[in-house]
């Protein structure tokens, strides 16, 4: 039987993964977007159960212990984020292609446990543009800038682990490319 392949979207910090998934949530409601659990507090306008499941550290621990997380990671050394396993498996069983927007550490875990997934790397239009997005107005000190540059260098090198690269030169264009890639994968 042909089952849909989950699609994993990852990429370097500040490349705009969140913006792409927001665009898809708002413009392509037919796409099955995984809803992650996170220990970070909601930002204004974020809705529990739509953007994330906002959980306590204890609830997150319980989910990990029960084996309910397909993958999880501590992102930027601050908050934990994870993909609830059951919903993704149910989507596949229902014949829908799940889209997971997660960080690089999470993508590697999915590669280990669901090697049949399609791995998409979201790349910046150029190295200079990524640096501009990361360092922004340059309010950080030299040490912080050096740390971010090093992070970007390591994260960009991960591109070769992925099946497909999509360049985030324009949010709408990149989102449309991703959605048509997902459609082309459907069994």
Per CB under 6 A, residues contacting ligand 5GP are: 17-18, 36, 40, 71-73, 75, 81-83, 101-103, 105-106
Q: Regarding beta strands 37-38 and 79-84, do their DSSP bridges make them parallel or antiparallel, or are they unpaired?
A: antiparallel
Judged by beta carbon, residue 110 or residue 182, the one nearer ligand 5GP is 110
| Shortest CB 105 distance to ligand 5GP, Å | 6
Beta carbon nearer to ligand 5GP, 43 or 142: 43
Shortest spacing between CB 185 and ligand 5GP, in angstroms = 21
Min separation Cβ 1 and ligand 5GP, Å = 27
Q: Nearer Cβ to ligand 5GP, position 60 or 182? A: 60
Tell me how far the alpha carbon of residue 18 is from its chain's centroid.
Answer: 7
Q: List the structure tokens of 114.
A: 């669901």
Q: Between residues 4 and 11, which has the closer beta carbon with respect to ligand 5GP? A: 11
| Residue nearest ligand 5GP by beta-carbon distance | 106
State the nearest-atom distance from the C-beta of 67 to ligand 5GP, in Å.
Answer: 15
Q: What is the CA radius of gyration of the chain?
A: 16
How far apart are alpha carbons 9 and 14 in whole angstroms? 14
């Amino acid at each position: 039987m042909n089952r849909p392949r989950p699609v994993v979207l990852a990429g370097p910090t500040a490349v705009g993964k969140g913006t792409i998934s927001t665009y898809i949530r708002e413009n392509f409601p037919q796409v099955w977007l995984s809803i992650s659990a996170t220990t970070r507090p909601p930002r204004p306008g974020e809705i529990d159960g739509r953007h994330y499941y906002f959980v306590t550290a204890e609830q997150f621990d319980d989910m990990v212990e029960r084996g309910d997380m397909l993958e999880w990671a501590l992102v930027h050394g601050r908050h934990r984020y994870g993909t609830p396993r059951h919903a993704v498996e149910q989507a596949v069983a229902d014949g829908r292609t799940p889209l997971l927007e997660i960080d690089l550490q999470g993508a590697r875990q999915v590669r280990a446990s669901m090697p049949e997934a399609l791995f998409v790397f979201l790349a910046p239009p150029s190295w200079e543009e990524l640096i501009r997005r990361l360092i922004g107005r340059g309010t950080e000190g030299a040490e912080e800038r050096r740390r971010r540059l090093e992070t970007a260098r390591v994260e960009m090198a991960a591109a070769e682990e992925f099946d497909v690269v999509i360049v985030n030169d324009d949010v709408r264009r990149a989102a449309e490319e991703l959605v048509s890639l997902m459609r082309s994968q459907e069994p």
